[in-house]
């Protein structure tokens, strides 16, 4: 969605309702139906909106799925606590506290997220996930490590992409894999090693 679209949608309550209805429809259907089997007709019927309304907000099913997944994930990551410590242990605890709620959310809704990742992912989705991880989970840890802004930003994106991939692999393991607490520990220890 272009940044200029959001103010227009917020100014029109009907547009905001139709947008929310489409997101909700995707979240429901995306848990049950593979994205490659979903049609715009089915989504608009579930959302109780028209096809032209769909296209006012999204370019297609994959775009809707990506926006729904990123928005849902963004809401699942808690806000950064203020004044996190800079010791290696404090950084690990801070990262674990930020990662654990997101992992629990991903585990509870893994059908939806795996559907989007396996059937509707593209560079925009992965960039969005890396941006969320970089902005909401890593900044204090890497500020504590120091370094130039450019190098720190590059390292944060590199680590965020690695965290994303570890989590995708973890989600694909399903019930046979480690639980959310163990995975949060793995992520926080790895980041702690980098910035300590």
pTM of the complete model? 0.82
With a CB cutoff of 8 Å and minimum separation 6, the contacts of 136 are 74, 77, 79, 80, 98
CA-to-CA separations, 91 to 118, 140, 175, 190, 192, in angstroms, rounded: 32, 8, 29, 11, 6
pLDDT tens sequence across 75-84: 988 876 666 5
- The percent of residues in the chain predicted with pLDDT above 70, rounded, is 84
The CATH number for 21's domain is 1.10.10.60
Rounded to an integer, what distance in angstroms lies between the CA atom of residue 178 and that of residue 164?
A: 16
191 band by pLDDT with thresholds 50, 70 and 90 = confident
Q: Are residues 85 and 53 in the same domain?
A: no
Domain that holds residue 41: 5-58
Q: Are residues 177 and 110 in the same domain?
A: yes
């Amino acid at each position: 969605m272009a940044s200029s679209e959001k103010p227009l949608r917020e100014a029109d309550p009907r547009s905001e309702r139709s947008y929310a209805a489409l997101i909700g429809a995707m979240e429901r259907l995306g848990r049950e139906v593979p994205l490659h089997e979903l049609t715009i007709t089915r989504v608009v019927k579930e959302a109780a909106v028209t096809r032209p309304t769909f296209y006012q907000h999204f370019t297609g099913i994959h775009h809707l799925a990506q926006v729904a997944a990123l928005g849902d994930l963004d809401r699942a990551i808690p806000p950064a606590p203020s004044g996190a410590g800079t010791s290696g242990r404090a950084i690990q605890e801070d990262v674990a506290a930020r990662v654990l709620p997101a992992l629990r959310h991903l585990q509870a809704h893994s059908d939806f997220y795996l559907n989007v990742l396996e059937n509707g992912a593209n560079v925009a989705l992965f960039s969005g996930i890396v941006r969320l991880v970089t902005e909401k989970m890593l900044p204090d840890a890497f500020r504590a490590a120091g370094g130039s802004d450019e190098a720190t930003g590059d390292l944060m994106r590199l680590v965020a992409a690695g965290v994303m991939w570890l989590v995708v692999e973890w989600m694909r393991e399903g019930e046979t894999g480690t639980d959310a607490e163990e995975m949060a520990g793995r992520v926080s220890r790895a980041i702690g090693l980098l910035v300590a």
